[in-house]
Amino acid sequence: MAARKPTALDASVREKLLASAIALFTTKGYAATTVREIVESAGVTKPVLYYYFRNKEGLFLELMRDGMLRFDAIVERAQQASGPARGRIEGLCLDAFHLFKQNIPVVRVLNSIYYGPPQGAPPIDIDQMHHRFQQQLKRLLVEGRKAGEFRFPKVEDAMWAVIGVLNIATEVELCHPEMALSPRDLRRVLGIVFAGIDAQPHGETLRAARKRKGVNP
């Protein structure tokens, strides 16, 4: 017999369960949240949750899966993109920031599990995600240096400078949303980092332009 095709009702029920779970995980923590609380909040029964996700662990993993797949796509897109390294780095950071803003409740849960006491949640390799982002950023910085865009003695220093800006933007969003940075703000602050590693500082660029036009510096 052919497998039953998912319906709009299936999608609706799944979304209710996912939304209820993330709200409870955020406020109570993973360990303290029960299946009963999730299904009551979603307005369904336990067998419905078991049908779609098998158990609380499966529900948690489904919540994490979408964000991780989209994160992988962001890193892959930056790797496949063409053009100057600066634009690709900006794109990588802005895409990551956009993904973060769309998934703040999930980030809060991940942070509580990563930095807090053990909660018995299924393991998620957060370090591997950080490592992938760092490696891609380093590759872009090295490409930019080889192409003459950037100048810096140690790629790790430039990498941490860029990541520091992105981390501050996410921390402000989590802790002080009234001071949150917009994508335009993030691009402007990243511009300060780029100015520091620019292979042709602004003053030199102006002098070169004037020389081409025959104007004395």
Mean pLDDT, consecutive 10-residue stretches, the chain (217 aa), reads 54 93 94 96 96 95 91 93 95 97 93 88 90 96 96 96 97 94 96 92 47 45
Where is 168: in which H helix or E strand? helix 155-175
Residue keyed to tokens 């969003």: 173
Angle at 93 between CA 18 and CA 67, to 5 degrees: 15
**pLDDT value of position 138:** 97
CB 205 within 8 A of CB 132: no
Rounded to 5°, the CA angle 197-202-204 comes to 100
At 9 the pLDDT is 62
Q: Which residues contact 143 (CB under 8 A, 6 or more apart)?
A: 85
Q: Cβ–Cβ contacts within 10 Å for residue 38, how many? A: 24
Residue with structure tokens 């949640």? Answer: 121
Domain extents in the chain: 8-54, 64-206
Asked if 165 and 186 count as a contact pair (C-beta separation under 8 A), the reply is yes
pTM for this one?
A: 0.84
pLDDT of residue 206: 39
Q: Is residue 198 classed as helix, strand or coil in its secondary structure? A: strand
d(CA 200, CA 198): 5
The per-residue pLDDT for 210 is 42
Q: What's the pLDDT at 67? A: 87
Does the structural domain 8-54 have CATH classification 1.10.10.60?
Answer: yes
pLDDT score for 118: 83
pLDDT value for 2: 44
Pick the CATH number of 64-206 from 1.10.357.10, 1.10.1060.10, 3.40.50.150, 2.30.30.830: 1.10.357.10
